[in-house]
A and B are shown apart, each in its own frame.
Chain A
């Protein structure tokens, strides 16, 4: 079993952007959970973080689906997302680093970036 090349590149880009603050960590979890089948060298415990959080937020309008939601509901949902984002940001950051190490161990150390 090997990683899927496209999945590795996409996962690395997502993780780097999320760690750099350029991507919502919740959205990163959602995207990475979708790529997990192609990330076989990433530890299961790491992938479980993304999968679990993606599962927890699948009723939150975070992406392009936002335009389909009513403004007053978005306000409530955004507050819920912000609350959960704050509660999981630390574990997500750790998992993102683990992912980068697993995919490119020679370029990443657990303390980076």
Chain B
């Protein structure tokens, strides 16, 4: 299990180290034919036949027992059967619930405000993302509003550069903005003759 060997028994075996009811269903799990009957019921153990069909050396009897690295140093003979770990997890959860409260344990108590803030941030980030995507889609579809260049009050600063870089004349270029009401607007340069769109950027009003 935790020692990496696949062995789950301990050499310094105390009374609890032996797998509980280990022999009760060892052979019965595979059925009379020795084939996998499928599934292991409560209280049953995995059959030898099933163990042989697995990839790992899970059959404790086939591998020399190895001390548990951590637990057996502190308390020799710790049972690391799944029943023990199930029980241990239940105890840990119970204690944690009593000490911290169930809400706090799952992040709704003392850290609730922080989590609520995280939720708000996530919601805002999602709104920004959706707004950006909608704005880009609008401009790519030929929509949007001209805010600079021919047809607008403000003059383009780099119309000549756009023409020399992407073609057309300076008068062909405008700056457009998306028109959605979301938290982000998309600005871009558009060649009104060809519809070519470039230099998109997001603006947060």
Contact = CB atoms under 8 A, between A and B. Distances in A.
B25 to A, nearest CB: 70
A49 interface: yes
B69 interface: no
11 contacts: A48-B153, A51-B147, A51-B205, A52-B147, A55-B148, A55-B177, A55-B203, A80-B157, A91-B154, A91-B155, A95-B153
B68 interface: no
A77 B148 CA distance: 20
A52 B158 CA distance: 13
Interface string B148-162: 100011111110000
Interface of A: 33-34, 36-37, 45, 48-49, 51-53, 55-58, 80, 84, 87-88, 91, 95
A100 to B, nearest CB: 17
A33 B148 CA distance: 14
B187 A91 contact: no
Interface of B: 145, 147-148, 152-158, 175, 177, 187, 201, 203, 205
Given A45-B153, A56-B148, 8 more contacts: A48-B145, A49-B153, A51-B205, A52-B148, A52-B153, A52-B175, A58-B201, A88-B154
A76 B127 CA distance: 38
Contacts of B145: 48
A51 B177 CA distance: 10
Contacts of A88: 154-155
B155 A87 contact: yes
B154 A53 contact: yes
Given A57-B157, A80-B157, A52 B205 contact: no
Nearest to A53: B154
B157 A49 contact: no
Contacts of B157: 56-57, 80, 84, 87
A58 B203 CA distance: 11
Contacts of A49: 153-154
A56 B205 contact: no
B64 to A, nearest CB: 67
Closest 9 CB pairs of A and B: A52-B154, A52-B147, A52-B148, A56-B157, A84-B157, A48-B147, A55-B187, A49-B154, A49-B153
A25 to B, nearest CB: 12
